[in-house]
Amino acid sequence: MNDREQGPRTSGPGAAFAGARLHIVTGKGGTGKTTAATALALSLASRGGRVLLVEVEGRQGVATLLGSPALPYEEREMISAPNGGSVHVLAADAEAALLEYLEMFYGMRRAGQALTRLGAVDFATTIAPGLRDVLLTGKATEAVRRRAGGRRRSTDTPADAPFHYGAVVMDAPPTGRIAQFLNVNSEVAGLARVGPIRNHADRVMEVIRSEQTRVHFVTLLEEMPAQETRDGIAEIRGMGLDVGAVVVNMVSPPLLDGAGLAAAAAGELDTAELAAGLKAARLDTARTGEHEALAADLAEEVRAHALRHLLEERVRGELEGLGRPLVELPRLEGGVDRDALSHLARGFAEQGAGQ
Amino acid sequence: MTETNDVRETARLDVDALLDSPRTRIVVCCGAGGVGKTTTAAALGLRAAERGRRAVVITVDPARRLAQSMGLAELDNTPRPVPLPETARGSLHAMMLDMKRTFDEVVKEHADPERARQILANPFYQTLSTSFSGTQEYMAMEKLGQLRQSDEWDLIVVDTPPSRSALDFLDAPERLGRFLDGKLIRFLSTPASGAFRLLGAGFNVVSSVVGKIVGAQFLADLRSFVSAFDTVFGGFQERAERTYRLLQTPGTAFVVVAVPDTDAMREASYFVDRLAQESMPLAGLVINRTHPLPSGPGARLGSAEALAAAGDLAEAGTHPLAVAALRLHAERVRTHERETRLRARLLSAHRGVRVSEVAARPEDVHDLAGLRGIGSALAGEAGQTGEGTRRREGDGTGQEDH
Ligand SMILES: Nc1ncnc2c1ncn2[C@@H]1O[C@H](COP(=O)(O)OP(=O)(O)OP(=O)(O)O)[C@@H](O)[C@H]1O
Ligand SMILES: Nc1ncnc2c1ncn2[C@@H]1O[C@H](COP(=O)(O)OP(=O)(O)O)[C@@H](O)[C@H]1O
Ligand SMILES: [Mg+2]
Ligand SMILES: [Mg+2]
C-alpha cells in the first residue's frame, strides 16, 4: 500500500475531484461506467471549460448513450454545457492510435494501412496488450498536457499557455482489467527498452502517477460490484495511484422511514393499518371485503422492498468503509436520455465535482 | 387496462423434464454478463443432483460467497464434491475454471516434456494464456470436453465466461484457433518470407520499425514460441472442433439466460438465432430477476389507480403506510409492464421458444438454500411462474425485490 491516500484529500466530498484533470472511470461491467463518465464530463464542463471524454474500448458506448451515429476517431464537440462549457468526445481505438503513432514517428502511412489490411495491427495489439494500452492511455494523457494553440507536442507552445482542455474524463476498461491497463510502464517492460514507445510510456506514466489523476469506481448497491470495487481500489492504491470517488449508481430511495423498513423486513408490518388505509382510499379494485387480501399482497411487496433496502444499506456501509467519498446517482426511470444526463451531471456537481 | 392479464400462451421450459432425462448430458448456460448465468448453472446442477443425477458444474468467476458455499474456496480446477443433504438422490461436484492451468495442462499433454517446458516459459505464452480474449472460452470448452470424456458424471452443467456479448462463447474459440493457426504469427516472425514486399514499403523499414516498437527480444520470443507451439497445435485444434461438434448433438441443451432489460434481451435474441444457425439445440430461455405481480387482488390494481389513491390519502394526511405501499405497488406494476413488453417482443420474434421466469430475490444468492430456491423457481414451483401460467400458491417465500 502507499501512504498517499492518507494525504490531505482523504475527506470532504470535493476531495475526490479537487485538483484533478484526468478522471479515469472504471467499475464492474454494466454498472454505468459510460453513463457516469459522460455525466461527470458534463458536470465538469458546466463550470465553463472545455472537457474531453475519451472512450477506449472501441464500442461506441458514448455514441449509443447520446443517440448519435458511430463517432469517428477524432475529438468532436458533442454536448454544450451551461456557462459556455462543452464536452468533446474521442472514440479512441487501438488500431487507429497505432496508425497515428506510426505516421507521427515514422511517416509510415501507407505501410501502416497495409499492415491493417493484413490484420497485423490487430495482431500486434493483441500479442502485446501493453502496446495497445499505452497507445490508448497515451491519447488521454496527451490531451491532458496539451496547451492552447499547440497540438501534440506541448513543446511547441509556451509552458505557461493555458491548457486546451480543462479536464479529461476516460470511460475506462472494467475493474478486472483496470490495474493492468494503467500500469503502463510494467506492461511495456517486455517490449523495447529504448525508443519512442519507451519514452511515450514514461510520459504517460508521469501523468497517471501525478496528483492530477484520479481513478473513480462506479458500483451498484449489490454484492458483486461492491466486491470488485473493494478489490479494484486495493489494486490501484497498491500501484500508488490516487483513488477518487466511489460512484454509487442507480440508487432508489426507500419509500418508508427507517422504523417502517425495519418492521417490514422483520415481517411485522401493521397489515391491519394497511388494510384500513386501503379501505379509506376507496379503491375500485378492492371490492368490498378484499381489503385484507389486497393488504396482504402489498405487505409482501413492502417486505421485499424493505429487505432489499436493508441489503443495500449493508453494502453502502461497506463502501463507506473504503474511506473514499461516495457520490450517489439516482436510478432514473425509462433509461438515460439527455435530460437524464444533465440530472446526473448536477448530481456530480452537488457532490463535489462542482468546485 | 394493463397488459398484465395478457394470457398469451407461452410454452414453459420444463426444467425438471430436461434435468431428469438421461439423454440430457450437457447443459450450457449462456447470456450477457451479470444476468445470472453462474447462479442458474449452479441452481440447475443442484436441482439435478437432488433429483438423482450424478452432476458436475463448471463455474467461471462465481460470486465469492456462492463459491464458498459450494466448498470452492480455491480455484483449483478440479471438480470437488459438494456436500448435500441425505435426501439428495444423486451427487454434485463443482469446480471453478482456471484458464491458465487448463491451458498449461493441454500444452503438457500435447507436447513432449522439453517442448512443453519451452512453451510454458515463453513470455508470449504467458500473455496468451492469461490475457488473450477468447482463451477463457476456449478453455471452458476444453474442460467440458475433458469432463465429458471421463464419464464420471452423467450430467455436466457449464457456466460460460463473463463476456460482454453472449456470442463470444461461440466465437472466441475460433478466434483463438485462427490466431494459433499461426499463419500470421509466422508471417510476422519470419519477415524474410517476402510477404512484406506486398506492403509497398521496403522490408527493412517495416521490420526495423516493428522491431523498434516491440523490441528485438520480443520478436525472438515470438519466433521460438511459434516453432515450439506448431507441433502442439494440431491436436489442440482437433479437440476444440470435437467439443464444438459435441455441442451440436441432441444430448446437449442450451439455456439462454437474460434479465428483462433491453440490452440483455437483445443479446438473448442474437444468441437464439445463432444457435439455430449452428444447429445447436436450444432448450429454452430463462428470464431472471423479473418482478411478477402478487397472486391476489393486487394483480388487478393498476399503477394509475394506485397512484391516485396514494395522492388522495397523502393529501388527507392519513395512513402513511398505505401511501407508501400504494406508491411502491405502482412502481412495481410499471416495472412489470415494461418487462412484459420486452418479453412479448422477444417471443414474437422467436415463436415457440420455451421460457422460464425467475423472480428477483431481495437478497443475493449465496448459499445452497438460495440456489435451491432459484432451482424451484426455474422449475415453475410455488407461485413463481410468470403471468399466463401462474399457479395460485403465493406462499410468499420472499423471492421479490422492490
Ligand atoms: N442512473 C441510471 N438510471 C437508470 N439507468 C441507468 C443509470 N445508469 C446507467 N443506466 C443504464 O444501465 C445500462 C448500463 O449503463 P452503461 O452502458 O453506462 O454501463 P457500462 O458500465 O458502461 O457498461 P459496459 O461495462 O457494458 O461498458 C444502460 O442501459 C444505461 O442506460
Ligand atoms: N434471481 C435473482 N435474484 C436476486 N439476485 C440474483 C438473482 N440471480 C442472480 N442474482 C445475483 O446477481 C449477481 C450476478 O449473478 P451471476 O450468476 O454471477 O451472473 P453471471 O454469471 O451471469 O455474471 C450475483 O450476486 C447473484 O447472487
Ligand atoms: Mg460502457
Ligand atoms: Mg458468471
Most ligand 2 atoms within 8 A of CB, residue of B46, B365, B368 to mutate: B365
Per-residue confidence band for A334, with pLDDT thresholds at 50, 70 and 90? confident
Is residue B114's pLDDT more than 70?
A: yes
Q: Which atom belonging to ligand 2 lies closest to the Cα atom of B35? A: 22
Cross-chain CB nearest to A294 (options B201, B296, B394): B296
Nearest-CA distance from A307 to chain B in Å? 6
A218 - beta bridge partners? A27, A247
Beta carbons of B134 and B173 less than 8 angstroms apart: yes
- Mean pLDDT of all residues in A303-313: 94
Query: Grid coordinates in use for B84?
Result: 448435500
Question: Is A340 touching ligand 1 by the criterion CB < 6 Å?
Answer: no
More confident residue, A14 or B79: B79
Is residue A242's pLDDT more than 50?
A: yes
Atom 9 in ligand 1: which residue has the minimum CA distance? A32
- A194-228, pLDDT tens digit by residue? 666 777 888 899 999 999 999 999 999 999 999 99
Per-residue confidence band for B33, with pLDDT thresholds at 50, 70 and 90? confident
- Mean pLDDT of all residues in A105-115: 68
Q: Cβ atoms within 10 A of the Cβ of A117, count?
A: 10
Q: Which pLDDT value is given to residue B273?
A: 94
Is residue B198's pLDDT more than 70?
A: no
Q: Which pLDDT value is given to residue A157?
A: 61
Weakest mean pLDDT among A14-23, A108-117, A309-318: A108-117
Q: Which pLDDT value is given to residue A117?
A: 64
Q: Which pLDDT value is given to residue B337?
A: 96
Q: Which pLDDT value is given to residue B197?
A: 45
Most ligand 2 atoms within 8 A of CB, residue of B39, B263, B400 to mutate: B39
Cβ contacts of A82 within 8 Å, gap of 6 or more: A46
- A253-264, pLDDT tens digit by residue? 888 888 889 999
- B271-327, pLDDT tens digit by residue? 999 999 999 999 999 999 999 999 899 999 999 999 999 999 999 998 999 999 999
B288 - beta bridge partners? B358
Question: Is B115 touching ligand 2 by the criterion CB < 6 Å?
Answer: no
Percentage of chain B modeled with pLDDT above 90: 52
Q: Which atom belonging to ligand 2 lies closest to the Cα atom of B289? A: 1
Is residue B47's pLDDT more than 70?
A: yes
| All CATH 3.40.50.300 domain ranges in chain A, comma separated | 3-252+331-350
Q: Which helix (H) or strand (E) holds B18?
A: helix B15-20
Distance (Å, whole) CA A307 – CA B325 = 14
In a mutational test of the B interface, the residue from A60, A126, A311 whose CB has the highest number of chain B CBs within 10 Å is: A126
**Closest residue of A to B211, CA-based?**
A192
Most ligand 1 atoms within 8 A of CB, residue of A24, A33, A35 to mutate: A35
Judged by CB atoms closer than 8 Å, whether chains meet at A302 and B294 is answered as no
Distance (Å, whole) CA B153 – CA A333 = 46
Is residue A154's pLDDT more than 50?
A: no
Question: Is B365 touching ligand 2 by the criterion CB < 6 Å?
Answer: yes
Per-residue confidence band for B385, with pLDDT thresholds at 50, 70 and 90? very low
3-state secondary structure chain A: CCCHHHCHHHCCHHHHCCCCCEEEEEECCCCCHHHHHHHHHHHHHCCCCEEEEEECCCCCHHHHHHCCCCCCCCCEEEEECHHHCEEEEEECCHHHHHHHHHHHHHCCHHHHHHHHHCCHHHHHHHHCHHHHHHHHHHHHHHHHHCECCCCCCHHHCCCCCCECCCEEEEECCCHHHHHHHHCHHHHHCCCCCCCHHHHHHHHHHHHHHCCCEEEEEEECCCHHHHHHHHHHHHHHHHCCCCEEEEEEEEECCCCCCHHHHHHHHCCCCCHHHHHHHHHHCCCCCCCCCCHHHHHHHHHHHHHHHHHHHHHHHHHHHHHHCCCCCEEEEECCCCCCCHHHHHHHHHHHHHHHHCC
Distance (Å, whole) CA A137 – CA A116 = 21
Judged by CB atoms closer than 8 Å, whether chains meet at B325 and A302 is answered as yes
Q: Which pLDDT value is given to residue B298?
A: 94
> Any CB–CB contact under 8 A between A222 and chain B?
yes
Q: Which pLDDT value is given to residue A101?
A: 77
Q: What is the mean pLDDT of chain B?
A: 83
Judged by CB atoms closer than 8 Å, whether chains meet at A222 and B364 is answered as yes
Is residue B395's pLDDT more than 50?
A: no
Per-residue confidence band for B68, with pLDDT thresholds at 50, 70 and 90? confident
Judged by CB atoms closer than 8 Å, whether chains meet at A120 and B329 is answered as no
Q: Which atom belonging to ligand 1 lies closest to the Cα atom of A37? A: 18
At the topology level of CATH, where does A3-252+331-350 sit? Rossmann fold (3.40.50)
Per-residue confidence band for A7, with pLDDT thresholds at 50, 70 and 90? very low
More confident residue, A15 or B223: A15
Beta carbons of A126 and B130 less than 8 angstroms apart: no
Distance (Å, whole) CA B297 – CA B287 = 24
Nearest-CA distance from A78 to chain B in Å? 24
Nearest-CA distance from A120 to chain B in Å? 7
Is residue B5's pLDDT more than 60?
A: no
A93 - beta bridge partners? none
Q: Strands A243-251 and A50-55: what pairing?
A: unpaired
- Mean pLDDT of all residues in A23-44: 97
Is residue B193's pLDDT more than 90?
A: no
- Mean pLDDT of all residues in A295-310: 94
Q: Which residues of A touch B364 (CB under 8 A)?
A: 222-224, 311
Question: Is A43 touching ligand 1 by the criterion CB < 6 Å?
Answer: no
Q: Which pLDDT value is given to residue B392?
A: 35
Sign of torsion over alpha carbons B256, B260, B264, B266: positive
Per-residue confidence band for B216, with pLDDT thresholds at 50, 70 and 90? low
**B297 Cα: distance to centroid of ligand 4 (angstroms):** 37
**A32 Cα: distance to centroid of ligand 1 (angstroms):** 4
Q: Which pLDDT value is given to residue A185?
A: 75
DSSP B97-144: --HHHHHHHHHHHHS-HHHHHHHHH-HHHHHHHHH-TTHHHHHHHHHH
> Any CB–CB contact under 8 A between B327 and chain A?
yes
> Any CB–CB contact under 8 A between A266 and chain B?
no
Q: Which pLDDT value is given to residue B401?
A: 42
Query: Grid coordinates in use for A8?
Result: 490531505
Judged by CB atoms closer than 8 Å, whether chains meet at A293 and B296 is answered as yes
Phi and psi angles of residue B267, each rounded to the nearest 5 degrees, phi first: -55, -45
* CA torsion angle A227 A231 A232 A236 (round to 10): 160
Is residue A9's pLDDT more than 70?
A: no
Q: Which pLDDT value is given to residue B243?
A: 84
- Mean pLDDT of all residues in A335-351: 94
- Mean pLDDT of all residues in B159-179: 76
What DSSP state is assigned to residue B163? -
Weakest mean pLDDT among A38-47, B102-111, B194-203: B194-203
> Any CB–CB contact under 8 A between A107 and chain B?
no
- Mean pLDDT of all residues in A260-270: 91
